[in-house]
Every structure is written in structure tokens, then in C-alpha cells.
Amino acid sequence: MRDEDYVMKKGFLVLIIFLAVLPLFAQDEAPLEEAPEKIPRTLYLFPAESISELGMDRRELLEGYAAAYSEYLAITVAENTQVVLVDTEEESDCKLRTVLTDVGEGEVGISLFAFDLFFDKEAFKIEETYQDFSVALLFEAFFPEVVENVRTSFAPRDPEIREVVTEKVVEEVKVEQVYTQDMSTVTIRGVAGTEIETGTGKLYIIGETGILDIEAPEESTLDLRAVRSGYFPVEKDVMIGEDDIEIELEQTKGGRLVLDGRVRFTDGALAPGIQFFIVPHALFLGFYLDENLLSISSLVNGIAGYPVTPQLYPVLRVGQFFLPPDSPFRMAFSVGVFTKIVMPFTGNIYISKEMTVGLEPALLFEFSPWKRLRFYFEYSPRFYYRTEDSEFDFTYEGYQGIDSVEISDTIYMNPAVVFVGVRWYL
């Protein structure tokens, strides 16, 4: 009996000790609070747009490129980033829009614009031009850059972000009334591929349909500028009221051909020319026909009994204009090659031994308040090759008392070649 009492007392003592120590173990084994998982971004990819005005064959080819681009871009982004692709724009919190443009000479330009709807900002923009465009080139050069930008710009976000913003807005409402800006829709109609600037820092592009809708605050003004290669830029101030408005852009096609009428300043001789723009309003190829017969100095010498031998100076040039075509002042630089053709009153026509071949750099300053009719001043010194037996075949400058500068035994420069003229853009 005493043994049984002893056992019960001992067991009761062990139970009391166990209950006393149990809370200590419970504190050590308390589960840690897990960090909330980040929310992946939802991305909508607009089907790629294609813009081509170089014939039906090129248009169909570019549309095929656009379709392949859209398909492979979706696969590449889904496999290499954490974003979730969605089927509709309403489901997304970020989006990508791409325009493929046929810029001529086999070149294709890609313009990609990325927008973050959640944070209401433009995320990034990529613009590239490829000479030999192909699907393989997309994977080698373009898609890796897109993937890297998507990773950095559309990384998974914290779930608390929207709650924090909400709390901040609620706190501000307590202090002052929240102001909301009413918006109007501005519908712009113009040539497909036209870039639209509104003075807000955002760039828009008119799609294949020729229609662009943008949102603008009511009772505001848009400083609209529309730029399209091959057309004169359009600028206008648009007043935004309470109602939606439509704007029809009056885009004037800028001709690639220019008629050039100029006069040589030193003797009043005519020197007409023609230019063709390889790149609209920028890179050009020009041909000019300088001469010495239809000039004031030749007329004076003829009256005085010193007839001037007729000479032609055909010049072939390539050059580049700077600043937009609607600028009131523009500058151009060009380099040309020329020769001199002598047409004596008796005998055969021949290429001059004095100016067999020459080089003519030119600096042109163009100015006018109009787009098509332009005035200009040009300085174009001539460097030419002269053989030793050419003393009887001196240039028209010799009749005017203007001597060429000797650079070497056979290389000379005529510094006194200045033109004034007027140009008409067809």
C-alpha cells in the first residue's frame, strides 16, 4: 500500500513539472509570419501594325512580318519573363504596342512603345531599323532587348502598393477636397505612320486606319505637331472644350524634285540645276549646268570686241540638308564633281585640259517664310586639275581678272564661286 502511494506521488510530481515547462516549448515553436507573395504583372500585347506605301507586294510582305512578329513576341515574353499574358486590354495593367514601317530600300523600322497602366506612365520605348529584316533577326537582335526591358520595367509588384496609395489618398481627402480633371476625346485623322506630338512629352503614331484617338483635359490647349516622312510637318494649336472634337490634318506631300534657278554672283551668269531627294527633305542628288556665255561680263566683252569662247561646267552633287523642311532657315552641305566642256566658234567641242576634272564642296544657306518657294546663298570654291600645256585654255574667271590660287603644279583652286538663287519644291 505504501508502494502504491509512493508511485502516485511521484507521478503527480512529474505531471506538475511537465505542465510548468510546456509553455516554454510552445513559445519556441511558434510559427514565423510568412512574407506576402508578390503579384505578377498582367501584360496585353497589341497585334503589330504594319505601314507600307511602297506597293502591294511590299505591303503584303510587311503584313506577314507583323503577324510573325506578334506570334513569336508572345512566345518569347511568356517563356523568358514573369509577366502573365492576357487576352484583352481590360485585364491588363501594362501593355506593348508595335509598329513595323517600310522605310524603303529594303529597310524595315520597328517602333515598340510600352505603357504601365498601374503606375500611369510610359515604361520604355525601343526604335530600331534593320536593312535585311527576317524572323531570325528578331530573335538575335530585337527580342533580347524587349525581354530585358520587360523584366526590369514590369517586375512583380508588392500587394500592399494599392492599399498604401488608397490610405494616402484618404488622408489627403481629410485635409482638402480631391480635384478630378474631366477629359475630352480628340480624334485626329491623317496619313498612316504620322507621329503626333502634343506638347505633353508623349509621342503618338497614327495607325493603318488613319485615325488616332487621344484623351486631353477639358479647357486646355494642345500644341499639336504632326510629322511624316515625305510630307511637310503640320503645326497647330488645338483648343479643347467640354465636347469631343475631330481634327483633319492637312498634310501636304513634299516633292522629291526641286527646280533650282541660280545666278553666279561674280559675273551674273545663269547656272540652272535640278535636285532629287533620296531621303525626303534631307539627302539629295543634284545636277547643275554652269556656263559663261549668258552672263553680263560676256555681253560686255562681246560689245568691246573680245568675244568669249562658250564653256559649260556640268556638276554632279550629293548633299544633306539640316533642320525640318518647314524651318524658315535651313543649311545644306554638298560635294560635287565637275568638268569643263569648251565649245569654240571654229573647231570641235572638247573637254578642257585646264579643268579636266574638279571637286566642288558647297555650303548653302536657305531661307523663306514659305514651304515650297525658297531663296538661298551658296559658296562653292572649285578645286581642279590643270595640265601643263593648258595656258591657252584659261577659265572664264580669267576674263574677269580673277586669278585661281595655285596649290601645287597641277592643282588649283578658284575661291570666287558664289551663287544666289531661288528653289521651287515640286
Angle at 255 between CA 196 and CA 417, to 5 degrees: 115
**pLDDT score, position 346:** 74
Q: Pick from 274, 304, 306, 300: which is nearest to 289 by CA?
A: 274
SS (H, E, C) the chain: CHHHHHHHHHHHHHHHHHHHHHHHHHHHCCCCCCCCCCECCEEEECCCEEECCCCHHHHHHHHHHHHHHHHHHHHHHHHHCCCEECCCHHHCCEEEEEEEEEEECCEEEEEEEEEECCCCEEEEEEEEEECCCCHHHHHHHHHHHHHHHHHHHCCCECCHHHHHHHHHHHHHHHHCCCCCCCEEEEEEECCCCCEEECCCCCEEECCCCCEEEEEEECCEEEEEEEECCCECCEEEEEEECCCCEEEECCCCECCCEEEEEEEECCCCCECCEEEEECCCCCEEEEEEEEECCCCHHHHHHHHCCCCCCCEEEEEEEEEEEECCCCCCEEEEEEEEEECCEECCCCCCCEECCCCCCEEEEEEEEEECCCCCEEEEEEECCEEEECCCCCCCCCCHHHHCCCCCEECCCCEEEECCCEEEEEEEEC
Report residues of the chain scoring pLDDT below 50: 28-30, 161-167, 169-179, 392, 394-401
The residues facing 322 across adjacent strands are 331
**pLDDT score, position 377:** 95
β-pairing verdict for 203-205 and 195-197: antiparallel
Reported as a single tens digit per residue, the pLDDT across 98-143 is 988 887 777 888 989 898 888 788 889 998 888 777 777 788 888 9
Residue 29: C-alpha distances to residues 23, 33, 196, 199 (Å): 10, 12, 64, 62
User: Do 366 and 374 form a contact (C-beta atoms < 8 A)?
Assistant: yes
CA 412, CA 201: separation in Å to the nearest integer?
A: 53
Regarding the domain delimited by 182-248, which CATH topology (the fold level of the hierarchy) does it fall under?
Answer: Immunoglobulin-like (2.60.40)
CA 265, CA 187: separation in Å to the nearest integer?
A: 51
Sketch the domain layout of the chain as residue ranges: 42-161, 182-248, 257-425
**pLDDT score, position 344:** 77
Looking at 1.10.287.3510, 2.60.40.1120, 3.40.50.2020, 2.40.160.20, the CATH number of the domain 257-425 comes to 2.40.160.20
pTM (two decimals): 0.50
Q: Is 190 left (phi over 0), alpha (psi -120 to 50) or beta?
A: beta
Q: Give the up-direction half-sphere exposure of residue 45: CA atoms within 13 A in the CB hemisphere.
A: 19
User: Do 184 and 245 form a contact (C-beta atoms < 8 A)?
Assistant: yes
**pLDDT score, position 96:** 92
Q: Long-range contacts: 180-184, Cβ < 8 Å, 24+? A: 181/217, 181/218, 182/217, 182/218, 182/242, 183/215, 183/216, 183/217, 183/218, 184/215, 184/216, 184/217, 184/218, 184/240, 184/241, 184/242, 184/243, 184/244, 184/245
User: Residue 318: phi, psi to the nearest 5?
Assistant: -135, 135
User: Do 263 and 242 form a contact (C-beta atoms < 8 A)?
Assistant: no
Q: At what angle do helices 56-80 and 143-153 cross, to 10 degrees?
A: 50
Q: In the CATH scheme, what is the code of domain 42-161?
A: 3.40.50.10070
The residues facing 372 across adjacent strands are none
User: Do 248 and 415 form a contact (C-beta atoms < 8 A)?
Assistant: no
**pLDDT score, position 298:** 64
Tell me which amino acid residue 18 is.
F
